[in-house]
Amino acid sequence: MTNHKLIVNLFVLCLVLNSCAIIDISEKKQAPPTIHYTQESPVGVVHLFMLELDSNNAKGAVVLLANPNGEVLSAERKIELYPEMQRLKRILKFEPITLVKSDTINTERISVLMEIDYYKNYKFTTQKINNMWYITEYSMP
């Protein structure tokens, strides 16, 4: 009988100790930020631009560009930029975006810095035109 009691007590002790491992007392992990691929925010338009390039959609990427003076590109200028978009696509090579920072220039212009694959930095200047954000300038190494 005492052996049976001892075995039951050890079993209960093991059960209690193992049940403590089920409860996690560590800090809650933060969910990754949600990315909105829209022209409603400066970071969103840059993400949308990169997505269009990754999807091999040069026409969609050109639509997100505007002149630095705040005017949407003409149809002729958009057609001229298609080869440039193909070149940018080859530079990016589907590499992951590892960091995004934004800096406010003024209420209508915001600079967005993107780090690609931990070592390439790309700078985009976005501008609000008719309540939509467009990329007016970009620099890539």
In a domain, 20, yes or no: no
Q: Flag whether 19 is in a domain.
A: no
pLDDT of residue 2: 67
Distance in angstroms (rounded) separating the CA atoms of residues 37 and 59: 16
**Cα(108)–Cα(130) distance, integer angstroms:** 10
Confirm whether 3 is domain-assigned: no
- SS3 call for 135: strand
Q: Which regions of the chain does DSSP assign to beta strands (E)? A: 97-106, 109-116, 120-129, 132-139
- pLDDT, tens digit, 9 for 90 and up, residues 1-56: 567 777 777 777 666 666 555 555 667 777 777 778 888 999 999 999 999 988 88
Q: What is the mean pLDDT of residues 68-78?
A: 91
How far apart (Å, rounded) are the C-alpha atoms in residues 53 and 47? 10
80-96 pLDDT per residue, tens: 999 988 888 887 777 88
Query: Has residue 94 been placed in a domain?
Result: yes
Which pLDDT tens digit goes with each residue over 117-136?
888 899 999 999 999 999 99
Please report the pLDDT score of residue 21 as a whole number: 52
Q: Is residue 12, in this structure, part of any structural domain at all?
A: no
User: 89: domain range?
Assistant: 36-139
Across the chain, how many H-helices and E-strands are there?
A: 5, 4
Q: How confident is the model at residue 108 (pLDDT cuts 50, 70, 90)?
A: very high
Domain count, the chain: 1
Q: What is the CATH number of the domain that holds 65?
A: 3.10.450.50
11 burial class (0-12, 13-18, 19+ CB within 10 angstroms)? exposed
> CB neighbours of 68 closer than 8 A, spacing ≥ 6?
125, 127, 136, 137
pTM score: 0.74
